[in-house]
Amino acid sequence: MDTRHQIIVALDCDDRATAEGIVDRLGGECRFYKVGLELLTVAGPDLVKGLVAQGKEVFLDLKLFEIPHSVAGAVRAAGALGVSMVTVHGMGGPRIMTAAVDAARAFPGLRVLALTVVTSMTDEDLTDIGIADSAEEQVLRLARLAGKAGCHGLIASPREVAALRSALGADPLIVTPGVTLPGGSPAEHVRPGTPRAAIAAGASHVVVGRAVTRAPDPAAAFRLVRTSLVP
């Protein structure tokens, strides 16, 4: 896979102009963008349509966790926008994930990814909500449920990639937020890793944010991430 397709730049911006400015500065370097709830709420679906019209792939990070009917409707709406990936919360259980997968069948280019355990959560956080297992154990449990529901892939931290590949094989996509360049700050991610380590462990894609979007030269920063993926 071309390394440019493996890097997803997170447009975690609070206004449309900033997001579009980053896309303009990255130009042809970046082919894949993540749009989350903050940007979607402030900019609306037209931003997503604009990215798709430019030939960009979009990872719509909705983290859907609702009744199955509502999840299916949101997935159909995402598919109609032309996005490549949409996320559903694994903790919602098999019925929610199955509803998402069923809805996505009408859109051949759309992949449903199950969020396992968000990268800001620790083992202690899981204990607080009644889950006795470690983050890795919970990630593997939800990943197996996602596979049975037909999900195309998973969202997990770099720390769990090797265990996921060992347990699930080569087929599922594994998208890893929480990656940081050597010497960079992990921000709120408590289970981070470098892009190179994530890809080497078996991740199909890495999500990078501030290391690129807040760099003085985002295109140069993107090229640095891309170079780091090559052994």
Question: How is residue 86 annotated by DSSP?
Answer: E
Measured in degrees and rounded to the nearest 5, phi and psi for residue 159 equal -65, -25
Counting runs of H as helices and runs of E as strands, what totals does the chain give? 12, 8
Question: Is 63 an active-site residue?
Answer: yes
Beta strands, E only, 110-172: 111-115, 153-155
* CB-based contacts of 209, cutoff 8 Å, min separation 6: 9, 10, 12, 187
Catalytically annotated residue among 34, 49, 56, 63: 63
> DSSP 3-state assignment of 24?
helix
Cite the DSSP H helix spans in 55-204: 68-81, 94-104, 123-128, 135-149, 161-168, 195-201
The span from the CA of 178 to the CA of 118, in Å, is 9
- Least Cα distance to 31 among 181, 168, 222, 184 occurs for 222
Catalytic residues: 63
